[in-house]
Amino acid sequence: METYHKFFSVFILALLAFGCKAQQLPLIQNDAILIQISNEYSFTEGPASDKQGNVYFTDQPNDKIIKWNATDNSLSVFKEPAGRANGLYFDQDENLLAAADEKNELWLIDKNGKVDTLITNYEGKKLNGPNDIWVDLKGGIYFTDPYYQREYWTRTEAEIVDKNVYYIAPETKEVTIVASEFVQPNGIIGTPDGKTLYIADIGDKKTYSYSVQENGTLSNRKLFTNMGSDGMTIDNKGNIYLTGEGVTIFNSKGEFLQNIPVHENWTANVTFGGKNQDVLFITAMGSVYTLQMNVHGVRY
């Protein structure tokens, strides 16, 4: 019996040790390095992964949407011109949503590149310039609408004074303001259970969390961290990835975990791609990068 107890104790300690090691598993795979896939672009933005792990991203100054093939690591033009698209996101039907900045619109692009314009104004006023997008479990669409004066616009000021976050209801297509009081709302990402939405106010160097209600409205605004972000993503552990000076990772409590340096003047956006959704795909100035991770992204 004593031998049995000793064996059982050793077994339990081994399990605990294994659990501790699992919890301490680094986010980035051992010996993984940041790989520059290409540096031939002008300003890369808006990466979004399809179900196969291919990543689509924008080269806004050159008015293109580019596809990175997860199978052979190749790059090809998906759509040109592309409405000066900025942020991208796939809906549950694998349509590509695009914040088409040229005419301040939100586009739905099917797999053949056909465009359906979802919205171009709110209550008769031109949108400021849709920037980043997230889709909830029901197919409702959230998008941020800051104002960045573009050289290709004829207007020189916003028609809508406030910088808002909007929601397009999945069934009625009704458009409502669900969050406001920002300097410049930009990055946006939600949790896979659809219960929490994170919105970065890059103009005020803050990121907030919100509780998502059944009808898509937001409540319980809380400061997540004193850092803004251009783009955002989330992994299967609930960690939030913010961009700007490299990629900065926080846990779900808003506690700093680590920074991934990217040797560019600005890191614009980030997502997970690859066949197993475990490749961190980073857009930074004229370049795009990949990094092999131990965690993975989340798709519905």
Q: Tell me the pLDDT tens digit for each residue of 205-253.
A: 999 999 999 999 999 999 999 999 999 999 999 999 999 999 999 999 9
Q: Tell me the pLDDT tens digit for each residue of 45-96.
A: 999 999 999 999 999 999 999 999 999 999 999 999 999 999 999 999 999 9
pTM of the model: 0.91
| Gap between the Cα atoms of 46 and 32, Å rounded | 24
What is the homologous superfamily of the domain 34-292 according to CATH? TolB, C-terminal domain (2.120.10.30)
| Gap between the Cα atoms of 33 and 259, Å rounded | 14
In sequence order, the 6+-apart residues with CB closer than 8 A to the CB of 12 are none
| Gap between the Cα atoms of 272 and 233, Å rounded | 8
**Confidence (pLDDT) at 299:** 74
Q: Could you tell me which of 52, 124, 114, 48 has the C-alpha nearest to residue 86?
A: 48
Give residue limits of the domains in the chain. 34-292
**Structure-block tokens of residue 225:** 């961290």
**Confidence (pLDDT) at 131:** 97
